[in-house]
Amino acid sequence: MEQGGTRRCGALGRPDGSVHWRVWAPRAGKVDLVLIDSDRRRRLPMEAEARGFFRRTEAAVQEGQRYAYRLVDGPERPDPCSLWQPDGVHRPSAVLFPERFHWSDAAWVAPQREELVFYELHVGAFTPEGTFDAIIPRLAALRDLGVTAIELMPVAQFPGARNWGYDGVHLFAPQNSYGGPHGLARLVDACHTHGLAVFLDVVYNHFGPEGNYAGEFAPYFSDRYLTPWGPAFNYDGRASDPVRDFVLDNVRLWIEDYHFDGLRLDAVHAMYDGRPVHILREIKETADAAAARRGRCAVVIAESHLNDVRMLLPPERGGHGLDAEWLDDFQLQVHAHLTGERHGKYVDFGRPNDYGRLLEHTFILDGIYSEYRGRCWGAPADGLPGDRFVGSVQTHDQVGNRAFGERLGALVGSAARRLATSLLLLAAHLPLLFMGEEYGEENPFLFFCSFEDRQLIDNVRKGRQRDYGFAAGVRVPDPQDAATFAASKLSWSWPGGSARAGMRRLVQDLLAARRWPALRDYTRRTARLLPDENTAAVLHLVRGATDPEADAALHAYFNLTAQPQPLTGTDGVLLFTSEATRYGGDRADAAAPTELRPYECVVFGPAAWGSPPFPSC
């Protein structure tokens, strides 16, 4: 359980200017601390503690001091709890004093959970420079768009300078090529200055394959569980207490020392833990306590493929108490329906008549049979409100795990893309946009890396070709090639009058519309298919009331087909159409339509809702 605000291992600064080193290394009979100054090395024996810990204190240590450990008389190894790897994953660690970061966000008040609009970005591909500092000039544009929170893909130190981030091996050390710990602190502070919350994607299910020396120190990895990416963390076996402490200290670092507003936990279904109090519950409790020490709250979001709301239920109801979880069913349904793809997970999705279940009840796979998994999957959402779920149309995962990293705009027409965005931003959940999605970026987002181990490089190349090249029938882009990374960078451009400008305006208007009372109500919603579930040509979504006649209700109609569809019996005044000329469509008439154009979305509601900042049609 939460133990307070002090890390238990690593290079720990003291008020008197000394540094106390502590490392967990039960697999070593002895450990030496090596202090490195240019070519001079001082090898200092560490004192053994109980349960495999070793310690050493040195006076008058400067920030940036390089150091390493030698286990018995082996090679120098970086600190598993290193806060700073200025020279990469294989080189010595450096002393960092997070308490000396300069902050200007004392008055920061984060948005409430129901106000969150996420913008997922990859630090390296978001700007030409690929650094934390280079993001800062773009924050105002994101705020003006209507985004309220940026979500950084993982920044824990990985091999080389190019990687998605899920191969991190120094979980406490922000990537050196992005600007390291000081650059990250500046970015978080700037986000708060611009009125944006900041979330960090963290990986607590596995370590990356290169530069991973933790196993030489201690049993960080389970001998019982495997993930698709390597050995799982040892959360419940022998000597698992320090492993749990390691992860909880990491949570505390991001929330307390770096001022993050919350965390996104990668693939929690691969975090195996059979102990009475699950590690997910302890992560949430630790994040809450760390935030409370700064007078704030923390939001912890899970990526889970299980469709299991025990992630979200409070402990007294048998749950882990997390704040929200990614809603994979939304992305899978929209993508499969609009593209017609049915390979892999998409085989269970894409039927138009499933939209009613998705929009009204959250999960499609809510205990029904999954062809992809060959068994029943998931469970009902237990009546939880929509702001406990994060929906998306595109993410790094769904775009990048394709042979050629195509975004949705490369697979469907402009009207269908506007429909997908309208579904995302009008549905009763928290929306997430993937960088560039807001203006229809054409550049792909490919899988890229910059490993140094030749055998690993070869294995990754073969694996990508095996997994993604077969269906394409051609060779997939080489993930190790710098050109693959360069091709994935944003163009960050939406010239006036262009289709990109129209798409961005649509996103901006719909995000402004989320201030309407009906769209702030995540509980009351109904969804039905017209003319009926068997034909399912039009989806009618009602937000803000269960009674379709209620004055405060929003009525959204989505043409799910590529053919015109009749529209009758609407309520309220026309507030929005995705086919308006301002968005790149060709509907210039502000009168309420009697026919929906292919893939058109229209919204009706009280006339007062059409006033600025949301323009009426």
Q: What is the pLDDT of residue 4?
A: 41
Q: Which residues contact 527 (CB under 8 A, 6 or more apart)?
A: 355, 356, 358, 359, 360, 539, 540, 541, 542
Q: What is the mean pLDDT of residues 6-16?
A: 93
pLDDT tens digit sequence for 383-404: 899 999 999 999 999 999 999 9
Q: Helices (H) and strands (E) in the chain — how many of each?
A: 15, 30
Q: Where are the alpha helices (DSSP H) in 213-340?
A: 214-217, 241-252, 279-292, 328-339
Of the two residues 230 and 286, the one the predictor is more confident about is 286
Question: Beta strands 76-77 and 66-71: pairing type?
Answer: antiparallel
DSSP type of residue 286: H
Q: What is the pLDDT of residue 547?
A: 58
pLDDT tens digit sequence for 85-98: 999 999 999 999 99
Q: Which residues contact 214 (CB under 8 A, 6 or more apart)?
A: 80, 169, 207, 220, 221
- Tell me the whole-structure pTM to 2 decimals: 0.96
Q: What is the pLDDT of residue 410?
A: 97
Structure confidence at residue 45 as a pLDDT band (50, 70, 90): very high
Q: What is the mean pLDDT of residues 485-511?
A: 97
Cβ proximity of 89 and 78 under 8 Å: yes
pLDDT tens digit sequence for 234-253: 999 999 999 999 999 999 99
Whether 3 shows a pLDDT value over 50: the answer reads no
Give the separation between CA 115 and CA 146, rounded to whole angstroms: 10
Q: Which of 399, 327, 332 is nearest to 372 (CA)?
A: 332
* Residues annotated as catalytic (active site), given as ranges: 266, 303
Q: What is the pLDDT of residue 29?
A: 87
Q: Where are the domains of the chain?
A: 10-100, 114-487, 523-610
3-state secondary structure 212-227: CCHHHHCCCEEEEEEE
Residue 119 burial (CB < 10 Å; 0-12/13-18/19+)?
buried
pLDDT tens digit sequence for 519-547: 999 999 999 999 998 899 999 999 997 65
- What is the domain class of 523-610 according to CATH? mainly beta
Cβ proximity of 159 and 209 under 8 Å: no
318: Cα separation from own chain's centroid: 25
Q: What is the pLDDT of residue 140?
A: 98
Give the separation between CA 445 and CA 308, rounded to whole angstroms: 29
Judged by average pLDDT, the poorest of 52-56, 324-328, 347-351, 550-554 is 550-554
Whether 196 shows a pLDDT value over 80: the answer reads yes
Q: Where are the alpha helices (DSSP H) in 439-586?
A: 454-464, 470-472, 482-487, 499-513
pLDDT tens digit sequence for 322-364: 999 999 999 999 999 999 999 999 999 999 999 999 999 999 9
Q: Where are the alpha helices (DSSP H) in 373-520?
A: 396-400, 414-426, 454-464, 470-472, 482-487, 499-513
pLDDT tens digit sequence for 415-466: 999 999 999 999 999 999 999 999 999 999 999 999 999 999 999 999 999 8
Q: What is the mean pLDDT of residues 289-312?
A: 96
CATH architecture of 10-100: Sandwich (2.60)
User: One fold for both 10-100 and 523-610?
Assistant: yes
Bond into 612 cis (ω within 30)? no
Q: Report the alpha-carbon angle 27-31-34, nearest 5.
A: 140
Give the separation between CA 186 and CA 182, rounded to whole angstroms: 6
Structure confidence at residue 617 as a pLDDT band (50, 70, 90): very low
Q: What is the mean pLDDT of residues 150-178?
A: 97
pLDDT tens digit sequence for 96-112: 999 999 999 999 999 99
Q: What is the mean pLDDT of residues 271-282?
A: 97
Integer distance in angstroms from the first to the last C-alpha of the chain? 54
DSSP type of residue 36: E
Judged by average pLDDT, the poorest of 12-26, 380-394, 569-583 is 569-583
Whether 2 shows a pLDDT value over 50: the answer reads no
Q: Fold for domain 114-487?
A: TIM Barrel (3.20.20)
Average pLDDT, the chain: 94
